[in-house]
Structure 1
Amino acid sequence: MKLSIQQALNFGKNILMAQGIPSDIAFDVAEHIVTADQVGYTSHGLSILPTYYKVLLKGFLQPDGRPELVNDQSAILGFDGNKGFGQHVGKVVVKQAIDRAKKHGQCLITISNSHHLGRMGHYGEIVAKSEMILLAFTNVINRDPTVAPYGGAKACMTTNPLCFAIPLPNNKPPFIVDMATSSIAINKARVLATKGLKADPGTLIDSTGNPTNDPNALFSDPPGALLPFGAHKGYALGLTAELLAGILTSGGTIQPGNPRRGAAMNNMFAIIINPKLVNSNEQWMIKEANAYIDYLNSCPTQPGVTKVQYPGEYEYNNKIKNLEYIEYEDSIWDNISNLAKKLEVTLEK
């Protein structure tokens, strides 16, 4: 199914509003997930709406939940997400933090008790567009663990994404790192299972702790687990995100003494930096950043590689390719359209 960007936005927004979500929150969520489709992350796009539908029915997600400021110390802002849609909560919080960083040079932010924040790179793009830098660490609670620690035979962690963003000069796409500290994101595994595809070797273990490339192993009973990316290195970064996001936000960690009711909730610890107030030599920063990125892009390539890219170019190039339309595979579209039919929402022509 091929949709214009406006069709996709309206369709996503209407599906959400049909479930009692206020129009402004529905717009923020629809904008976020359609952008995820545009930049090449189907797992965080419209395909996630059936999952949100189930969570709403169970009462784990508050349809009108909005961020509440609970800690205001000039360059420190803390928010309770009130179980609201993370795509709305995250957008509101990040924009307030950008305003503080413009004044103070930096702003430290915490978010607790938010539903799924979505594609973290989306916030990186917002921050970079404001000529700021983002360092963000997120953990996942209120659900069963999905990631095995390094050397472990069962899940004791979650995907705990990291996001780093740096604006670049001369109209270059911003540097955006958006990565799960697991081998792949749980939603990507869900998409692979839906499509009947296999995961890469070294990505998963089954319920007995043995290697597998079947993503359905994650959803079996008992379940298998994702592995950390990069073995002990990814494990260490995932643990870093767990402690920073879980402890500093007061939102808690995935340890078994905390509730696991089956709906992913996020805590986030982040720092937004205004580089112009950290280093007053703006022209030198522009020149140096430009020179280094050009140096990377000019690196000779390995066989089969056309160009060395930096993080963020992949998403930018996909967005240009999908600037007007997004095409959904049948297996993905069927789940979305079935939900729309259930809610009596029709696709606008």
Structure 2
Amino acid sequence: MTNRYKSNELILYIEALFVAAGMDLDKSAIVAPLLVEADLMGHTTHGIAQAPAYLSGLENGLMKGTGDPLVVADKGATITWDGRRISGVWLTAKAIDLAVKRAKKYGTATIAIRRSGHIACLAAFLPRATERGCMIELASSDPSIASVAPYGGTEPAFTPNPIAVGIPTSGNPILIDISASITTNGLTGRLFSEGKKLPGDWVQDKFGQPSNDPTVLFTDPPGTILPIGGKEYGHKGFGLALMIEALTQGLSGLGRADPPEGWGAAVYLKVTDPDAFGGAEEFIRQTSWLAESCRRNPPADGVESVRLPGDNAFANRAEALENGLELYPGLLNGLKEFSDKFNISEPKPI
């Protein structure tokens, strides 16, 4: 028996669980494929791994599976939503679709969302815009949670604050998915539960001493994740975190200056139609040249070849679709209690 599964069967399984837990069918039909898409791309901490927390959220009210966002403001090219704790994956997907439509009219469209549910893997959303010829910027934070210290500090002030950018080219798009911190809550939590160490000194203890041991994050008081650049150059990640907090929380009008409301997200996205600027053809000519120039760059010793952000994701996806998606060990265990509760059978490995 292998640990590989057909992706379409995983989607149907997770979709059925969400519907059984009270999510609208149309929402689950968007959320489930995007979670599986994250695993197809190789982002194993922010795809199917999030489903148990989402199902729990539907049960305890921290996440809603029904309804629509409240429109706070709509100026045509700029929109603000109150997500009302609805599934952040669904909200973000719908916001991108709307932003693409508006960008085709106005050139650019920006949407800020407050009170969104958690939005999972940012990279999985990017093709919704790039496949329609648009460039997209997407960022997220959670004003109710803090695990990353500001540069030079020792107490948590931010979330890891991911930011992603999708750039169309003549081939596969460039899919940038990074965060303002060296690592994520998902990875440190997984390694902590498995009793493993981080690859480097990506965290610090409560006294500010760098460490590769995720257990320092689970002390009282806790240590913190370090910003990009670590102890030496962390001002870079610190600056990026501040920008993301302003875009996601400042523009949406709800953030850390307000009382915490529970696990969720503040979201910022901007879609740009190159045709409204120097022209779509010229945009693709430039981005394609840049991409190929990087790939042709002579590799350093020990490096097989230069790859662009997204290259591995597309390779992983193609291999998984052909041979079955190999799941991270134990990934489906977190869904067993829900399978039993709702009498929904798990998919069988290939």
TM-score by length of 1: 0.92
Task: Supply the distance in 1 between the matched residues of 2:219 and 2:337 (Cα, whole angstroms).
Answer: 24
**Which range moves more in the overlay, 333-342 or 239-248?**
333-342
Deviation of the 1:136 alpha carbon: 2.7
Q: Which residue of 2 aligns with 1:300?
A: 298
AA aligned to 1:43 is T
Q: Given the superposition, is the C-alpha separation of residues 214 and 56 from structure 1 closer, same or farther in structure 2, using an over 3 Å criterion?
A: farther
AA aligned to 2:222 is P
Q: Which residue of 2 aligns with 1:207?
A: 206
- Give matches, 1:104-119, under 5 Å: 104-119=106-121
The answer to whether the Cα contact below 8 Å between 2:80 and 2:111 also exists between their aligned partners in 1 is yes
Task: Supply the distance in 1 between the matched residues of 2:122 and 2:251 (Cα, whole angstroms).
Answer: 19
Task: Supply the distance in 1 between the matched residues of 2:133 and 2:195 (Cα, whole angstroms).
Answer: 41
> Which ranges in structure 1 are unaligned for 5 or more consecutive residues?
none
Task: Supply the distance in 1 between the matched residues of 2:27 and 2:343 (Cα, whole angstroms).
Answer: 20
Deviation of the 1:348 alpha carbon: 4.2
Task: Supply the distance in 2 between the matched residues of 1:136 and 1:328 (Cα, whole angstroms).
Answer: 26
Task: Supply the distance in 2 between the matched residues of 1:54 and 1:208 (Cα, whole angstroms).
Answer: 34
AA aligned to 1:51 is A
Task: Supply the distance in 1 between the matched residues of 2:58 and 2:285 (Cα, whole angstroms).
Answer: 49
AA aligned to 2:166 is A
1:220-262 Cα deviation digits (max 9, x unpaired): 443221110121101100111111211111122x34xx33354
Q: Which residue of 1 aligns with 2:326?
A: 327
Q: Given the superposition, is the C-alpha separation of residues 333 and 267 from structure 1 closer, same or farther in structure 2, using an over 3 Å criterion?
A: same
Task: Supply the distance in 1 between the matched residues of 2:218 and 2:327 (Cα, whole angstroms).
Answer: 24
Q: Residue 270 in 1 paired to residue 269 in 2? A: yes
CA RMSD across the alignment? 1.8
Identity %, equivalent residues: 27
TM-score by length of 2: 0.91
The answer to whether the Cα contact below 8 Å between 2:204 and 2:211 also exists between their aligned partners in 1 is yes
- Give matches, 1:124-203, under 5 Å: 124-143=126-145, 145-169=146-170, 172-203=171-202
Q: Which residue of 1 aligns with 2:259?
A: 259
The answer to whether the Cα contact below 8 Å between 1:79 and 1:93 also exists between their aligned partners in 2 is no
1:283-337 Cα deviation digits (max 9, x unpaired): 4333332222211111111122111011111211111111142122333232233
The answer to whether the Cα contact below 8 Å between 1:64 and 1:84 also exists between their aligned partners in 2 is yes
- Give matches, 1:56-135, under 5 Å: 56-135=58-137
Which among 308, 319, 325 is matched to residue 310 of structure 1? 308
Task: Supply the distance in 2 between the matched residues of 1:261 and 1:216 (Cα, whole angstroms).
Answer: 27
The answer to whether the Cα contact below 8 Å between 2:155 and 2:206 also exists between their aligned partners in 1 is yes
Q: Residue 44 in 1 paired to residue 38 in 2? A: no
SS in 1 for 2:150: coil
SS in 1 for 2:126: helix
1:115-151 Cα deviation digits (max 9, x unpaired): 11121122222111111011233221223x1101111
> Which ranges in structure 2 are unaligned for 5 or more consecutive residues?
none
SS in 2 for 1:44: coil
Q: Which residue of 1 aligns with 2:222?
A: 223
Task: Supply the distance in 1 between the matched residues of 2:34 and 2:143 (Cα, whole angstroms).
Answer: 22
1:26-84 Cα deviation digits (max 9, x unpaired): 12111111000100011111111222233334322122143233322121122121101
Which among 244, 247, 265 is matched to residue 244 of structure 1? 247
1:197-216 Cα deviation digits (max 9, x unpaired): 21122211123332222223
AA aligned to 2:197 is K
The answer to whether the Cα contact below 8 Å between 1:195 and 1:331 also exists between their aligned partners in 2 is no
Task: Supply the distance in 1 between the matched residues of 2:75 and 2:20 (Cα, whole angstroms).
Answer: 39
Task: Supply the distance in 1 between the matched residues of 2:261 and 2:105 (Cα, whole angstroms).
Answer: 40
Task: Supply the distance in 2 between the matched residues of 1:85 and 1:156 (Cα, whole angstroms).
Answer: 25
- Give matches, 1:279-298, under 5 Å: 279-280=278-279, 282-298=280-296
Task: Supply the distance in 2 between the matched residues of 1:20 and 1:270 (Cα, whole angstroms).
Answer: 28
Q: Given the superposition, is the C-alpha separation of residues 186 and 8 from structure 1 closer, same or farther in structure 2, using an over 3 Å criterion?
A: same
SS in 2 for 1:163: strand
